Structure 1
Amino acid sequence: MYPQRLTKFFSIQSFHLLTLPALLISSLFASQVSALPTDREEPIYVEADAASIDDAKGITVYTGSVKITQGSMILKGDRVELYRDDAGDINQIISLGKPAHFQQQPQLDQKVTYATGNKLDYTVSSQFLVISDNAKVTQGADSFTGAKINYDMANAKVKAFSDSGSNKRVQMVLQPRSDKKK
């Protein structure tokens, strides 16, 4: 279904060029230990209006209502940039949108984590997501809102920052834990 949709936008030759980014994306999501164990075994679907690959610089750019899906992970943005290191592995993903959107279920027994902001900057090796410009992270009824949020996925830590140039402050909603024994 998805390859047929992509071939409407790209010729067969350019579709062949899209397989490289798909392989690179698979190496990214396979390295995530905080994701559902089955996510890395799922196929990767990329939808976009256009794609541009610069092999020499190690940059792939998708534009136009970009949606990348693998298992429980969904990344959406108006523009998604993938950066590769010298070994060809993806080391950074930047998603831009109004807002850009990320979601993933960390574990089977946990609720889906959602992150939105006008810019999402993910460093693969450290599993560190920086959400900026109208940043918000939500899991269940808990949420963090601020000008910028650092989300350390590997260590399940969130740090929110206010905008020093405005009166907007960090806002948090934390629900009591019902799993504690009384």
Structure 2
Amino acid sequence: MYNKLRPVFLIALLALPSLAQALPEDREQPIRISADHASMNELTGVTVYTGNVEIVQGTMVIRGARVELHRNDAGVQRIISTGSPAQFQQKPSQEQPLTKAYGKRMDYRVAQQEVTITESARVDQERDTFTGERIVYNMEKSLVNAYGSDKDSGQRVQMVIQPKSGGN
């Protein structure tokens, strides 16, 4: 059975790195934030936004019920978003469709260009879907790792990859 699934798994892994690249122009755009409430601590560099939070930078959009923005002298270092679900989306390149990610918690480490999605994590790109208890992807290295939950609950990593149209 493993040998039959191996080609499918390899195709899925080859398709997933496209999820982890972003338009280079996004980093050059201003970060726009809207929320119902904001609380800034200048000593720690942490700002907490609550209530329908939306952060937009180019094609990147982060949404959540609560978002923490961690800054230092170099700029934004980390964004933690929680919600039911928290959402992250970004267009990998001009030629590719928008990638959307969902989970109850997202931790975006800006310098590492890495997003960790936990608790009912899901990534959608066009009609393909990738789910697990935790998904970690590094945009810069095009590296995706997905994890199921512990053996007792039995949640496994799931992928649905649609056939390419046109007989290819």
Scaled by the length of structure 1, what TM-score is found?
Answer: 0.73
Unaligned runs of 5+ in 2: 1-19
Q: In the alignment, residue 106 of structure 2 is paired with which amino acid?
A: L
Give 1:49's match in structure 2, choosing from 36, 39, 61.
36
Question: Match of 1:108, SS?
Answer: coil
Give CA-to-partner distance per residue, 1:32-70, whole Å, 9 cap, x none.
Answer: x94324434545432100001101011011100101122
Higher strand proportion: 2
Equivalents in 1 of 2:143, 2:128: separation in Å? 13
Q: Aligned residue for 2:94? A: 108
Q: In the alignment, residue 63 of structure 1 is paired with which amino acid?
A: T
C-alpha contact 1:58 1:88 (8 A) present in aligned 2: no
C-alpha contact 2:79 2:107 (8 A) present in aligned 1: yes
The reply on whether 1:134 has 2:116 as its aligned counterpart is: no
Give CA-to-partner distance per residue, 1:72-92, whole Å, 9 cap, x none.
Answer: 21110001101123x242211
Give CA-to-partner distance per residue, 1:135-175, whole Å, 9 cap, x none.
Answer: 00111122210110111111222211111040221101123
Question: Match of 2:154, SS?
Answer: coil
Moved more, 117-126 or 165-174: 165-174
Matches within 5 A, 1:139-178: 139-164=125-150, 165-176=152-163
Give 2:65's match in structure 1, choosing from 78, 87, 99.
78
Equivalents in 1 of 2:86, 2:48: separation in Å? 15
Q: In the alignment, residue 89 of structure 2 is paired with which amino acid?
A: Q
The reply on whether 1:120 has 2:106 as its aligned counterpart is: yes
Equivalents in 1 of 2:121, 2:48: separation in Å? 23
Matched residues, percent identical?
A: 47
The reply on whether 1:63 has 2:47 as its aligned counterpart is: no
Deviation at 1:98, TM superposition (A): 0.4
Unaligned runs of 5+ in 1: 1-32
Equivalents in 2 of 1:135, 1:97: separation in Å? 12
Question: Match of 1:57, SS?
Answer: coil
Question: Match of 2:140, SS?
Answer: coil
